[in-house]
Amino acid sequence: MKKVIISVLTLVFILSASFIVLAKKEAKKNEVYFLIRGTPAEVELWKKAVNAFMKENKGIKVRMEHTPYNEYWTKIQTMMAGGLAPDVIFLESTRVASFIKIGQLLALDDYVKKDKEFNKNDFYPESINAYMFQNKLYGIPNDIAIYAIYFNKDMFDQNGVKYPNGTWNWEEFKKACIALTRDDNKDGVPETFGFNIGWTYYLWIWQNSGDFYDNPKNPTKAVINSPEVKGALQYLKDLIYKYKASPSFAQASSFGNSAEMFMTGRVAMIIEGHWMVPEFRNIKSFKWDVADITAAELPKGKVKANYGAGSCFAIPKVARNRENAWKLIKFLSGDKGQEILIKSGLSTPALRTPKITKLFLDSRPPANNKVFLDMISYAHLPPLIPRYNEMSDTMYRELDSFWLNEKSADEVLKTLEKKLNEFIK
């Protein structure tokens, strides 16, 4: 009798345990694990968007977890390697290739085809193209990283310089930089500079018809050692050393980053993305706006170009809740999710629906938001290679000696050509 009682109790325990496991599986089935990165302000925006999604989809719970930017990428890779990844991840376009190369991302084409509420044509083609590899789509765009010239209107007025416009070429841009540079106490260090170069040499290389590789999507060789690249770099270097209209990299390191220099009135112009708008809206000491970066258009025979990267939502292959992950992505990248982000001024939308376009254009300052949308058609993809970040770091390191006036463009580009080729072997 005792054995029977024990057997019954054992059976009850087993059945109870089974029900618990099933209950947990059911709970997990309706939970979407969303791993994000970003500043505290961005996290608050994501919380609002996720809460709006759960309010509309009451049967789905989103477990959102934030990881600091520098730790984010390692964490994703570690989780994927262990076979337990988030259901939705937030990727940069420059990092997507590294995940695809080792088969870690789910192609989203089947979801796009069968979902009648989702229309790929609602996005700018340039943003969708950033996540297409071998005719498969691996990410749904959240934003597009278009850059513009931010300019201090008061400094332009005080120095009698006309605001940037579509007639500018490189020569006129240089003249404006010189006119906006002031060294009133004649100590050799200007109180104000016309422009800060920062990392923006990418954009000048592209505008001068240069590039890093022969094909951004499928590179076969480096083409950085060219007259076009050399010409762009030398033009920027001359702004520093010949005309003293931009701080040297050594000077800039003591002044702060480009945004800080702009906000403190140290420089009249910088090139940045729309993500600086929330911070710049706090400026009270001067008036500012944005101008088309292609307003600094090149002389005849050259091209207009801008940066075409951005961020996207993706689903890892090992995700356990793909269907609900897709629902979350569709919401965040659609009108309702994007409305929350666009109102903050944080990003340039990849979504081009009438509602989001109007919302973006009406969100001020800046008054001239339209330039960000106008420049999307000039978006230029950075090289989409698995080792992009290593390549980018190598570029910065090698160019340091050029910016510090220790090596010529010929010397640096010859070395870079060899190193860039190693990244695509």
CATH number at residue 251: 3.40.190.10
pTM: 0.89
At 301, is the pLDDT very low, low, confident or very high (cuts 50, 70, 90)? Answer: low
At 384, is the pLDDT very low, low, confident or very high (cuts 50, 70, 90)? Answer: confident
Q: H-type helices in 276-387, by residue range? A: 277-280, 322-333, 335-344, 354-362, 370-374
Residues 166 and 275 in one domain: yes
Residues 274 and 405 in one domain: yes
124 lies in some domain: yes
24 lies in some domain: no
**pLDDT at 166 exceeding the cut of 90:** no
Total domains, the chain = 2
Domain housing 358: 31-144+309-373
Using CA atoms, how far apart are residues 216 and 158, in angstroms rounded to an integer?
43
Share of the chain above pLDDT 90, in %: 77
170 lies in some domain: yes
Residues 206 and 273 in one domain: yes
Q: What's the CA dihedral at 399, 400, 405, 411 to 10 degrees?
A: -40
Residues 140 and 52 in one domain: yes
9 lies in some domain: no
Q: What's the CA dihedral at 348, 350, 352, 355 to 10 degrees?
A: -60
Using CA atoms, how far apart are residues 214 and 226, in angstroms rounded to an integer?
12
Tell me what pLDDT residue 5 has: 36
pLDDT digits (tens, 9 = 90+) for 325-383: 999 999 999 999 999 999 999 999 999 999 999 999 999 999 999 999 999 999 998 88
Residues 342 and 236 in one domain: no
209 lies in some domain: yes
Share of the chain above pLDDT 70, in %: 92
pLDDT digits (tens, 9 = 90+) for 400-419: 999 999 999 999 999 999 99
CA 209, 211, 214, 216 dihedral sign is negative
Residues 260 and 301 in one domain: yes
Top pLDDT among 29 and 118 is at: 118
Contacts for 95 with CB less than 8 Å, ≥ 6 apart: 73, 388, 389
Residues 82 and 123 in one domain: yes
Residues 298 and 250 in one domain: yes
Amino acid at 302: K
Residues 333 and 404 in one domain: no
Residues 158 and 264 in one domain: yes
Residues 132 and 153 in one domain: no
Residues 186 and 208 in one domain: yes
Helix (H, G, I), strand (E, B) or coil at 193: strand
